[in-house]
C-alpha cells in the first residue's frame, strides 16, 4: 500500500522481518544522510558542476516546481 502511494505498484516480493532481519543476518547496510535545503543550496553554490540533484517525484509534482539543474527520474520508473 505504501509503495503504491509513490507509484510502485508491481511488487514481486518482500523481505520477511524487514531491514532488521537483514541486519541481524550480518548482511551489509548503507545509508544516505539527509541534508537541509540550506546545506544543499550551499553545496550547489560552492561546488558548481560537482553536485547532481535527482528528483524522484512524479510528473505533476515536478511540474509544480523543481530545481533548475535537477535531473528528473520518477521513482515509479
Query: Across residues 5-32, what is the average pLDDT?
Result: 89
> Helices (DSSP H) in the chain: which residue ranges?
2-5, 18-24, 37-46, 59-64
Question: Which cell is 67 given?
Answer: 530545481
How many residues comprise the chain? 77
In this predicted structure, the answer to whether residue 7 has a pLDDT above a threshold of 80 is no
**pTM (whole model) above 0.75:** no
Gap between the Cα atoms of 37 and 70, Å rounded: 14
Which pLDDT score is estimated for 3?
80
Contact 53, 71 (CB under 8 A): yes
Place of cell 509544480: 64
Note the maximum CA span of the chain. Answer: 43
pLDDT bin (cut points 50, 70, 90) of residue 30 is very high
In this predicted structure, the answer to whether residue 20 has a pLDDT above a threshold of 80 is yes
Amino acid at each position: 500500500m505504501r509503495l503504491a502511494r509513490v507509484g510502485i505498484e508491481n511488487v514481486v516480493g518482500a523481505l520477511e522481518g524487514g531491514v532488521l532481519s537483514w541486519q541481524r543476518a550480518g548482511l551489509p547496510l548503507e545509508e544516505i544522510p539527509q541534508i537541509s535545503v540550506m546545506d544543499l543550496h550551499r553545496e550547489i553554490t560552492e561546488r558548481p558542476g560537482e553536485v547532481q540533484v535527482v528528483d524522484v517525484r512524479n510528473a505533476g509534482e515536478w511540474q509544480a516546481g523543481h530545481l533548475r539543474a535537477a535531473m528528473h527520474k520518477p521513482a515509479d520508473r
